[in-house]
Structure 1
Amino acid sequence: MPFRSLNDDFSFSLYEKAIALPANDWDAISNKNTIFLEREYLKIVETGEHTKLMSRYVIVYHKGKPCGIIYFQIVDFKAGIFGELMDNQVQDIKSKRLNLFEKYIDSNKDEVLLRLFTCGNNLVSGEYGYLFDKKLGEDQSHTILLKIVEIVSKEEKLARTISAILLKDFHTALQPVELFEEEKYSNFFVEPNLVVEIPAGVDSVANYIALFSKKYRNRAKSIFKSIEGVEIKYLNSEEIKQHEKQIYKLYEGIFEKAKFKLIKLPKDYFSVVKNAFEKEFTVKGYFFEGKLIAFASSFLMPDNSLEAHYIGFDYELNNQYNLYQNILYAMIDEAIKHKRSKVNLGRTAAEIKTTVGAKAENLICYIKPQNTISKLIQKPFISFLQPAEWIPRNPFKEEA
């Protein structure tokens, strides 16, 4: 789409397909800063089999020169997902309007009820919604961002549907605070991201767990011993294709247990990503008697971190082989081998992740309802997404 003016100095172009993006303009800002805003990755997300996801891309220009990029995902939800939310969160609410809303949901479970307009990527945790030239500063960047969000979201709104705007996964509150308050955004915490910092001088997992207290060191050794007899190997793109059906089945087992089932990956996701990012993307398979019983995928990121991506395992065999905790330690091992400074282990299972040395980093989201009914469900929706209470563990020796 041709340039659209914001003011005398700034304009933007909107695109519906990643393949249509002018490579030089997008790459001038993305600059290989993160895989999740690279055009190749965005093409994979966009062309997957999930019918509920649409993408929009914006390039912002200052006097004709690219100065920012913005990535949107548009997801349509059926009423059924809100039926579950209502059952769990609003039993004590006696609002007449809300009761009517629940009755509507019960009789329209297969009808599209909400169009969620997200600045960011619903498939991964983190700040992957926009990048601006640092010369602009936060105030100016966020003023431009919210103006474009408003313009594009209005154009994408479906008639007679509830709609909401979501800006997702920030490590600190967006500035200036007054701007987001004036624009009627509410912020809230979601489940934290769990991060392992690799201490300087650590060159093996053995060295890493040597920093643990005796209790956790012995526990780690027991976890490693429990997986003896399971073959662990890196999978190339052909092997991923060969085992793709089982990989997806194991992934689905994790997906179905998720608190909020947003978007399911396309079935060929892992092989397609491996083909596009052969060096950066790793998939490990865990085999017992020739059968794939677990897998783990990760990215080597440009910021010298390792990003744990999707995993899957056989729940019936998890206790016997400590599959999940062995996967966590394998992520740390992978980071150490590649001399990475930290491992992003993602959200969920926070307490278990702290037993391997992870620390929690808060994530903040911003939401703006677009009509009366979306305002009505905002409070229970946010409550539904709040992190559950958990106890952080510290496996490291206490400093004298």
Structure 2
Amino acid sequence: MPEKAWKELNCSHNLYFQPAYLEALEKNNQQLQFSYILLYNEQDEAIAFATIQVVGFYLDNVQNDLQSAIEWVRCVGRKLRLNSSRKPVKILTCGNTFVSGEHGIFIKKDQDKKQVVKQLAKAIVVFEKDISKEKIDAFMLKDFVDESLFITDALHSVGYNSFNVDSNMVLALEKEWHTFDDYLAALKTKYRVKAKKAFKLSSHLRIEEVTTASLKELLPEMNSLYKSVSNKASFNLGHFNIETYLSLKESLKENYVIKAYWLEDKLAGFLSGMITDKNLDAHFVGIDYTVNKTYAIYQRMLYDYILLAIENNIETINFGRTAGEIKSSVGAVPQNLTIYLRHKKSIPNRILSLFLKKIQPTEFRLIKPFKEKKYKNVSSFSQ
């Protein structure tokens, strides 16, 4: 990536588009092929930037709610000799494999974004033909909010199918929340009591900020706790290498937060998150499920994210996908994220379009814990 392009794009205010962040992912997740696409205008100025990763995805790894749909496409694929359970499907992913949200494409403000997205789709095909070391089966552009669809739906004209998986859970913080007590005061009595109970149960835990110095020693235990959480997910595009944390802490310092939850001398959990602009993105967590309910570990983590956001004058918390009900119990609301997917070959792409119609986001009971609150729609197209 030429230095000139970084200056022309002026995108480094967003940590997801900082060289230090991208380098940390590359360095520690070498099971993926990382590449970058730059688009230029006629004056040879960089106008857009996209991060891509080539991911090997095994259909057999899908569990739970998606399993019946996967079995359907597997059976059809076998009859047409289009897939093998022994070989991974190679997916070129434009976006961030490890984080939910619009963290894969940056377009400068003064551009025709529909045209840029179409040009990006063409550039991805050129990359697959001329540059990629891997044989690509499908192309995916991921995680666009509803407000961006008038731009990204241009991908339908070049063969992409769109679908939704589980929503991103987002909490918009009120300006009058200067302390955590202000947040508690906004809750209905039932949920304020629930929060206080979680703090009481978790009072047995010792919560510490993880520093670069202490991180190396903790990584093996953190990896074990992370896997106990990730293995419960019905769908994982790629497994995150926990050693990435070391590079992120060294590069991003206080903007990358990791907290450890100790039960006496045993690590019982950890949370991680990144502060960029006025947003706090909750990243991976690790939990010892044998003590989770007894000490309300995960519930306490959610409140600690809120406390961290209030302390740093954050406007929104992106809690990510999964566990929608418990996240809504602390005030988060669902934000639809649309994914675009296209198989390289036309017949498999038609089968894929039928398969994607069978995918439905996980249903959950949406809780509204605040006394009186206008639940905000949060949007953000990278610009």
Q: What is the TM-score normalised by the length of structure 1?
A: 0.85
1:135 pairs, out of 80, 98, 110, with 110
2:318 corresponds to:
344
Pairwise CA distance, 1:322: 0.8
2:331 corresponds to:
357
- SS of the equivalent of 2:290 reads helix
What is the total number of aligned residue pairs between the two structures? 370
The sequence identity of aligned pairs, in percent, is 26
- SS of the equivalent of 1:309 reads strand
Pairwise CA distance, 1:379: 3.4
1:117 corresponds to:
92
2:381 corresponds to:
none
CA distance 1:24–1:101, shift in 2 (3 Å): same
1:321 corresponds to:
295
2:61 corresponds to:
81
Question: What is the rounded CA distance, in whole Å, between the counterparts of 1:49 and 1:36 in structure 2?
Answer: 16
Question: What is the rounded CA distance, in whole Å, between the counterparts of 1:84 and 1:47 in structure 2?
Answer: 32
**2:171 and 2:331 in contact (8 A); partners too:** yes
1:252 corresponds to:
227
CA distance 1:287–1:156, shift in 2 (3 Å): same
2:8 corresponds to:
28
Query: Unmatched 5+ residue regions in structure 1?
Result: 1-20
Q: Does 1:236 align with 2:211?
A: yes
Question: What is the rounded CA distance, in whole Å, between the counterparts of 2:324 and 2:281 in structure 1?
Answer: 16
Which structure would you say has the larger RCO, counting Cα contacts within 8 Å and 6 or more residues apart?
2
Greater radius of gyration (CA): 1
Q: Which amino acid counterpart does residue 44 of structure 2 have in structure 1?
A: G
Q: 126-135 or 79-88: which moved more? A: 79-88
CA distance 1:177–1:267, shift in 2 (3 Å): closer
Q: Does 1:388 align with 2:362?
A: yes
1:67 pairs, out of 24, 28, 47, with 47
Q: Which amino acid counterpart does residue 306 of structure 2 have in structure 1?
A: I
Q: Deviations over 1:344-395 (max 9, x none)?
A: 11111111101001111111111111123354345335634x3111111011
- SS of the equivalent of 1:394 reads coil
CA distance 1:82–1:100, shift in 2 (3 Å): farther
Q: What is the TM-score normalised by the length of structure 2?
A: 0.89
When the two chains are superposed, the root-mean-square deviation of aligned CA atoms in Å is 2.6
1:167 corresponds to:
141
Q: Which amino acid counterpart does residue 58 of structure 1 have in structure 2?
A: I
Q: 62-71 or 207-216: which moved more? A: 62-71
1:180 pairs, out of 147, 150, 155, with 155
1:43 corresponds to:
23
Q: 35-44 or 78-87: which moved more? A: 78-87
Question: What is the rounded CA distance, in whole Å, between the counterparts of 1:217 and 1:264 in structure 2?
Answer: 36
Q: Deviations over 1:133-161 (max 9, x none)?
A: 211122332232222122223336789x6
**1:73 and 1:119 in contact (8 A); partners too:** yes
Q: Which amino acid counterpart does residue 69 of structure 2 have in structure 1?
A: Q
- SS of the equivalent of 1:201 reads coil
CA distance 1:342–1:349, shift in 2 (3 Å): same
Q: Deviations over 1:285-339 (max 9, x none)?
A: 101111111100111112x111111111101111001111100000000000111
Question: What is the rounded CA distance, in whole Å, between the counterparts of 1:82 and 1:361 in structure 2?
Answer: 23
Q: Which amino acid counterpart does residue 353 of structure 1 have in structure 2?
A: K
Query: Unmatched 5+ residue regions in structure 2?
Result: 374-383
